[in-house]
Structure 1
Amino acid sequence: MILSEKEIQHFKNPIAVPGMGVGMQEKLKEARVLVVGAGGLGSPVVQYLSASGVGVLGIADYGVINDEDMHRQPVYQMQDIRKHKAKMAASRLWAVNPYTKHYPILMQVKPETIGMMLVGFDLVIDCSQHLPSHLVINDACLVHDKPFITGEVHNWMAWFGGFNMPLVDGTRSATYRCALPITEEYRNFDAGAIGATHGALGMQIVCEVIKYLMGVPIGVAGKLYGIDYLHNQTQVYDLQPDTAQIEGTRAAGILTADDYGLEIVPDVED
C-alpha cells in the first residue's frame, strides 16, 4: 500500500467520495505536478493541489510577495511580504499537508531553463498569465512530450484549457498555439484584478487536474473554457489540432528569448 495509516486518516473524507477510494487517492500520491507561477492564479492552484494529496508539487516562481497582491494570493500572510513566493508557498503548504513533497523553484521560465524544469513531472500547470511564458512552455512541452494546462484571468473574464494531453484514441490534443485565436478574445488588459475570480478559476483548474490524474476519460483535454464571471456564462470550445502548426513547432524546437518577446530577469540570489 502506498498510503500510510496516517495518510488514510488524513484523507478519509475524499477517499469516501463515490468513485474515489484508496486506489484513486494513491494515484494522486504518485502524481508529480509542476505549477509555474505562484501568484493570483497559482496561489489557489497550489493550495488545493497540495491539500488534495498530490505527491510531488513543484512551485516555480522567481518573484516576491507584495502587499497589493495579498487579496488574490491567500496562501501567503502579511509577514511574508518581500519574501520569495515559491519558498513561502512551499512552507505554508507543508504546514497544511506534510505528506506532499513541495519543491520551490526560484527560477524564471526561459529557453535556457525550461527543459531542466520539466524533468520528472507528469503534468505542467502554467499559471504565469504571461503570453511569452505560455509560448515557451507550449513549445517545451511539445518537445519533451508533456501535457499541460494554461489559463488566465482578466477582471471578470477568464479562460483555461488542456493542451498536448492524451486522448482516448491515443492521439494528443491541440496545443496552446492552436488556440491562440480564441484566447486572444478573452484578453482584457484594463487595470485591476479581482481575488474571487482568480480563486474561482484556480478551483476549476484543480478539479480538472484531479480528474485527469485519476484517469477520468472526460475532462479538460482538447477543451478550452471561456468564462464570464460577471454574467455567469461559460463557453466551451472543442479544440482541433493544427497539424502543420504542431509539426512546425516540434521541428523548430525551443526558440530564443527574443523570438518569444521574453524579458530575461536576473537569477534569484538566495
Structure 2
Amino acid sequence: MSDLSNAELQRYARHLAIPEFGIEAQRKLKAARVLCIGAGGLGSPITMYLAAAGVGKIGLVDADVVEISNLQRQVLFGQDDLGRPKLEAARDRLLGINPHLELQTYAERFTAANAMRIAADYDVIIDGTDNFPTRYLSNDVSVWLKKPNVYGSILRFEGQVGVFAPHLGAPCYRCMSPQPPAPGLVPSCAEGGVLGVLPGLIGTMQALEAIKLITGIGQPLLGKLLHVDTLGLRFRTFTLRRDSECPVCGENPTITEPIDYEGFCGIQPELKVKTISVRELHALREKGDNHFLLDVREPDEYAKAHIEGSVLIPLGEVTVRAGELPRDKPLYVHCKMGGRSAKAVAALEALGFTNAVNVTGGITAWSDEVDAGVARY
C-alpha cells in the first residue's frame, strides 16, 4: 500500500479526520488507477475531484481542442485555453490542483482498435462521453477486463448515474439497454443542449462512485440507476437486473471482442457527396454567383443564427418539398456542422438532383471563417 508523505497528510487532512475514511482509505486512493473517457462536461468535474481527492493515477482520453462553446460547462478550461488541445490544458489544470497526481493522457478517440490497450492498466473505468458507440464499447471492455464501469449521461435538464460491474454481481450497460436508440432519436448535447451546471452535478456523482468503489466505503450504485431531474430537483433510483441472455455478460456471451460499434448503433459512414467549403461559397457569393442556399436546420436554430439569403426547409421536410427547389442552378445546402446537410444532399441526389452541394462545416464554419457576426451556438 502506498505511503503518504507529510505534504499529503496535510493535503488530505479533512479526509483523514473522517472516522469511516481515515488513512487506509486515503492510501487506497493513492494506489488507485482510474481511466476517464472524455475531458468534456462530465470529464471536467470527474477528473478535478478525483485529482483533489488524491487518486494516484488518472488516465484521460480525448482528441479534441477547446472551443468557446465548451466553456459554459467544461470547467477544466478557461478563456485562455481556446484552441489548445484539451489534454494539454487539462494537464495544467489537474496538476495545478494536485502535483502528486500521475496523469496519463491519450490524445486519440476511444475506439475498438485501442480500447483494450488503454483500459487494461486501470482499476476503474469512467464513461464521460455523450455518444452511444463509446458507451457500448466502454461497457464491453469493462466486462471483459472485469473492471467497474461508472456510467453517466446528461441532456438538457436531466442526468443519470450508475455503476455497471457483472464481476461484482451487478448488470452491465447492455442489460439495461440491449439495443441503442434509432439514430437521431436521442440528440447529443451539441444538438439538444445541456444546462451548464448539470454535468457538474452528474460528474461529481461519478467521481463519488469511483471513490466508494476504490475505498470500499458506503454503497456504490451497483445494480442501480440514479435519475436526476434538476428542474424539480427530483432524484429517483431504479433497480436494474442482470440479463442472463446478455450478449456480453450473460451465461452464453456472443460478443467476446470489440465489434463495429458505430455500425451497431446505426451510424452510417460519412456520405460521399459533392462539397464546397464556406470560404469557396463566400467567394462565389461575393462575385454574385447565381445560386440557391438551402438551410436544413430546425426553425429554432434558424432564429438563433442564419446566413443572409438562405431558405429554411428542415431536413425532415426536404424530400416532400423538393418541388420548391431549383434544378437549373447550384443548390448549396448547409446545416449547423455539415452532417444533416450531407443527408439532405444524398436524399436530393436520389430524387435526381445533380446540382446539390454540401457546405462543409455548416453555419459554424461560416461564423468561424467568414462572418463572425453570425452567432455561434
Question: Could you say whether these structures have the same fold, taking a TM-score greater than 0.5 normalized by the shorter chain as the test?
Answer: yes
Give the structure 2 partner of residue 268 of structure 1: none
How far does residue 251 in structure 1 lie from its aligned partner after superposition? 4.1
One-letter amino acid matched to 1:45: I
1:39-188 to structure 2, matched below 5 A, reads 39-164=40-165, 166-167=167-168, 172-180=169-177
Higher relative contact order (CA 8 A, sep 6+): 1
Q: In 2, are the aligned partners of 1:90 and 1:103 still within 8 Å (CA)?
A: no
When residues 17 and 9 of structure 1 are mapped into structure 2, their CA distance, relative to the original with a 3 A threshold, is same
How far does residue 133 in structure 1 lie from its aligned partner after superposition? 0.5
In structure 2, list runs of 5 or more residues that go unmatched.
271-377
Give the share of equivalent positions with the same residue, in percent: 28
- Distance in 2, Cα, partners of 1:224 & 1:259: 27
1:254 aligns with 2:255: no
**Cα shift readout 1:168-226 (whole Å, capped 9, x = no counterpart):** xxxx3100011127997xx5666322111111111112122211111125221111111
Give the structure 1 partner of residue 291 of structure 2: none
Q: In 2, are the aligned partners of 1:257 and 1:263 still within 8 Å (CA)?
A: no
- Distance in 2, Cα, partners of 1:181 & 1:153: 20
When residues 53 and 24 of structure 1 are mapped into structure 2, their CA distance, relative to the original with a 3 A threshold, is same
When residues 264 and 39 of structure 1 are mapped into structure 2, their CA distance, relative to the original with a 3 A threshold, is farther
Q: In 2, are the aligned partners of 1:156 and 1:197 still within 8 Å (CA)?
A: yes
Give the structure 1 partner of residue 222 of structure 2: 221
**Cα shift readout 1:220-240 (whole Å, capped 9, x = no counterpart):** 111111111111111111111
- Distance in 2, Cα, partners of 1:21 & 1:250: 44
When residues 165 and 149 of structure 1 are mapped into structure 2, their CA distance, relative to the original with a 3 A threshold, is farther
How far does residue 164 in structure 1 lie from its aligned partner after superposition? 1.5
One-letter amino acid matched to 1:141: S
When residues 200 and 251 of structure 1 are mapped into structure 2, their CA distance, relative to the original with a 3 A threshold, is closer
- Distance in 1, Cα, partners of 2:269 & 2:8: 41
Structure ID, larger Rg: 2
Q: How many aligned positions are there?
A: 260
One-letter amino acid matched to 2:155: H
When residues 252 and 103 of structure 1 are mapped into structure 2, their CA distance, relative to the original with a 3 A threshold, is closer
Q: In 1, are the aligned partners of 2:147 and 2:165 still within 8 Å (CA)?
A: yes
TM-score of the superposed pair, with normalisation by structure 1: 0.89
One-letter amino acid matched to 2:51: S
- Distance in 2, Cα, partners of 1:115 & 1:65: 27
When residues 176 and 155 of structure 1 are mapped into structure 2, their CA distance, relative to the original with a 3 A threshold, is same
- Distance in 1, Cα, partners of 2:202 & 2:51: 17
Secondary structure in 1 matching 2:30: helix
Give the structure 1 partner of residue 200 of structure 2: 199
One-letter amino acid matched to 2:93: R
Secondary structure in 1 matching 2:245: helix
TM-score of the superposed pair, with normalisation by structure 2: 0.64
Aligned-CA RMSD value: 2.4
